[in-house]
Amino acid sequence: MNDNYGIGGNEVKTDASEAFADIPQNRTLFAEKLTQTAPVKPQIAHGLQTIEQVFEHYKPEVSMDFENAEGGSLKETLNFQNLGDFGIKGIINQSEFLKTNAVYKEEYLKIIKQLKTNKILKAALADPDAKKALLDAINGMMAELRNSK
């Protein structure tokens, strides 16, 4: 009796049924729900050879509800046309709400960097009189910007 076995996660005889082929080592199988609602009758999509063809066939999208700073709700639909659309940049690029928040985030990070590294600013914030003068100047600039609209 000659038992031929392959090495892998599970013990599988190499003379197993030809109906099931092993996935080659350099390939990946993706199994994922690509639509929000399940079809009434499941269907098999034939002839899809690439990931781009799968995205073109299913046209995956998701509706998102975002909450703004005032507590209001904003609805946006995100569409996915390739795997890059699932990354942070891909999702942000599809949403005006997220783009705006990304800009705010960058500005806040710049301010934090200044607060940590700018010695003159640190000294001004440590002195109560200089801090008050700085806040008065900032408030004056903000009032001027509001009035210029």
Q: Per-residue pLDDT tens for 36-54?
A: 777 788 778 888 888 888 8
Domain ranges of the chain: 22-95
Cα within 13 Å of Cα(38), Cβ side: 3
pLDDT in the model for residue 4:
64
Distance CA 62, CA 77 (A): 6
What amino acid occupies position 49? Q
Query: Of 82 and 35, which is predicted with more confidence?
Result: 82
Q: Are strands 5-6 and 12-13 parallel, antiparallel or unpaired?
A: antiparallel
- At 87-110, the pLDDT tens digits run 899 999 999 999 999 999 999 999
Percent of the chain with pLDDT over 90: 31
* pTM (predicted TM-score): 0.56
The mean per-residue pLDDT over the stretch 59-79 comes to 89
- At 107-117, the pLDDT tens digits run 999 989 988 89
pLDDT in the model for residue 90:
92
- Average pLDDT score, the chain: 82
